[in-house]
Amino acid sequence: MQTALLRKLAPLALLAVPFLVPVIVNQSDASTIVIPSAALNVAFGTSLGSNAAQTVTLFPNARIGRVFWGTPKATLPSLPSSYQIWLSFNVSPTTVAAGKFNAQFALLLQAWNKSGRTVYWDWEHEADNPRKGFTPTEIRAGWAQLLSVEKKYPSSKVKSMSIYEGYLLAPSQPHGNPDSWYVNADVLGFDCYIPANVVRAMDYAKSKGKPWAIPEFGNHDGDLGDKAYVTQTILSWAPYRPIGAAWYNNTAAANFSQPLVQIPQTTTYLRALAST
C-alpha cells in the first residue's frame, strides 16, 4: 500500500467533468444523489472488515466482496448473491513457481467453477511491496504456473486478477520497472488511494489492452471528505473505466482509509453507486 504522505497529495487536475446523472437512493435515508456518469457499469463494493456480518448489513447491495485469505479454500465465503467475490490467497512463491501447487490449485479452481459465483482470484496480493521480499522473477514464474492451470479449467465466471500497488506505476518506479512485474492475468488490479495512481493504472491497463480494477481504494478525511474523494476517484477514470472498485473497510489505524461504520454519508453514496 502507498505511504500516507502520497495519499494526501493534491488531486490530479482533470481536463473534463463527465455528465452527472441524478439517482434516487431507496433507503431509510433516501435522497437524490448525483452520480457521475463514469460510475455507470462499474461494480462497487467493499472489503469485509473485522465484522463481515456488519459490513453486509451496512452495504447489502454491494457488487464486490473483497476477501483476504491466507491459505486458499475450496468453499467460498457466504455472501449475498449480488456480490462478486474478489479474493486473494497466499502460497509460498517457491512452491508455486516450482509447480508444486498446481494439483491443489486445479481442485480449487474446479470447486470455484462449480459454485456458480463470479470470482476474481489473486495470488500474493501486492507482491511488489518491497517489505514482502519477493522478486519479479519468482512472482512471474509463479503466475505462469497458475495461469497454465487456469487455462485447463476455463470459466466465464471465475477469472484471474493480478493485484499490485498503484504506487508501482509512479514515474520514479519505486518498485522497479512495472513491466518486470506484469503477468497476463484476465484483469489487471491496482490498489489506488490517490487519483493520480488511478490515472496511471487506467493508462497502464489500456496500454496492455486489458480490463482493469481497483481492489482497494479509500481515504481518511472525515465523512464529507471521503465522499468527495470517491467522486474525484470516479472522475479520474472516466476515459477508460475499471470493471469495479472496492472500498478498503478493514481498518482506520493506518490513516489511509476509514471503516464504513465511521462514514455513513460515504456508505450511502457507495450504496447508491452500487445501484447504478
CB 50 within 8 A of CB 249: no
- 117 contacts: CB under 8 Å, gap ≥ 6: 76, 84, 85, 157
Dihedral sign from CA coordinates of 211, 216, 220, 224 = positive
Q: Which residue has the cell 447491495?
A: 61
> What is the model's pLDDT at position 144?
98
Question: Is it the case that residue 16 has pLDDT exceeding 50?
Answer: no
Axis-axis angle for helices 136-152, 102-115 (nearest 10) = 50
Q: C-alpha grid cell for residue 98? A: 516450482
Dihedral sign from CA coordinates of 168, 170, 175, 178 = positive
Percent of the chain topping pLDDT 90: 83
Domain residues for the domain of 169 are 4-274
Spatial distance between the Cα atoms of 96 and 264, rounded to a whole number of angstroms: 42
User: How many domains is the chain built from?
Assistant: 1
Q: C-alpha grid cell for residue 202? A: 487506467
Sorting pLDDT into bands at 50, 70 and 90, what band is 32?
confident
DSSP H stretches of helix in the chain: 4-7, 52-58, 93-97, 102-115, 136-152, 195-208, 222-236, 264-274
Q: What is the CA radius of gyration of the chain?
A: 18
**Alpha-carbon distances, residue 99 vs 90, 120, 150, 170 (angstroms):** 15, 21, 13, 32
**Category of 128 on φ-ψ map: left (φ > 0), alpha (ψ -120 to 50) or beta:** alpha
The tens digit of pLDDT for each residue in 196-216 reads: 999 999 999 999 999 999 999
Question: Is it the case that residue 2 has pLDDT exceeding 60?
Answer: no
The tens digit of pLDDT for each residue in 59-111 reads: 999 999 999 999 999 999 999 999 999 999 999 999 999 999 999 999 999 99
CB 137 within 8 A of CB 127: no
Q: What's 122's domain CATH number?
A: 3.20.20.80
CB 241 within 8 A of CB 41: yes
Q: Give the pTM.
A: 0.90
Q: C-alpha grid cell for residue 117? A: 459465483
Which of 3-7, 46-50, 142-146 is predicted least confidently?
3-7
CB 244 within 8 A of CB 219: no
The tens digit of pLDDT for each residue in 251-273 reads: 776 678 999 999 999 999 999 99
**Alpha-carbon distances, residue 189 vs 5, 212, 215 (angstroms):** 22, 6, 6
Spatial distance between the Cα atoms of 45 and 64, rounded to a whole number of angstroms: 4
Q: C-alpha grid cell for residue 167? A: 504506487
Spatial distance between the Cα atoms of 74 and 139, rounded to a whole number of angstroms: 23
